[in-house]
Structure 1
């Protein structure tokens, strides 16, 4: 059996959050739309333009709706840089008020 070493996994300490960024109006609108869809089992896609804050928007929504409810999240990306960006965003946004 072949195995792969995974460097991009682990637990996050929720208390590490230092300075969560405020969301822009379009990001808050996206979160409201995701919340409406989330009332039933769904598959969704978050679409924002380059630089529109997809990672930050997704992280805020996941923290409120999944992480805060002790559910696990699998974040998949085709580049390690995107995984690093997501991890950094989660670490900065993961504060106790979620």
Structure 2
């Protein structure tokens, strides 16, 4: 999971066709919160994606918040974000060395 989170921290420029405006990394603590293995991407059009790993099991959680002019716009962007993140994770896990 360390490698997966490191890849999320390594220069993501766009998610779901929306530019990443700001990356908030909570690894050292942020906004008065304790340090945590969380990365938040603030995107264009007042949307965001939060990625965090579980502290107790090999699980990754992704939270998506999308704004748009119509429900159809929101649904399309949410689907693009989900697909892009799934593809990113598939590539990341397929390139990790297997544990023995």
- TM-score normalised according to structure 1 size: 0.32
Q: Which structure is higher in RCO with an 8 Å CA cutoff and minimum separation 6?
A: 1
Q: Larger strand proportion, structure 1 or 2?
A: 2
- TM-score normalised according to structure 2 size: 0.31
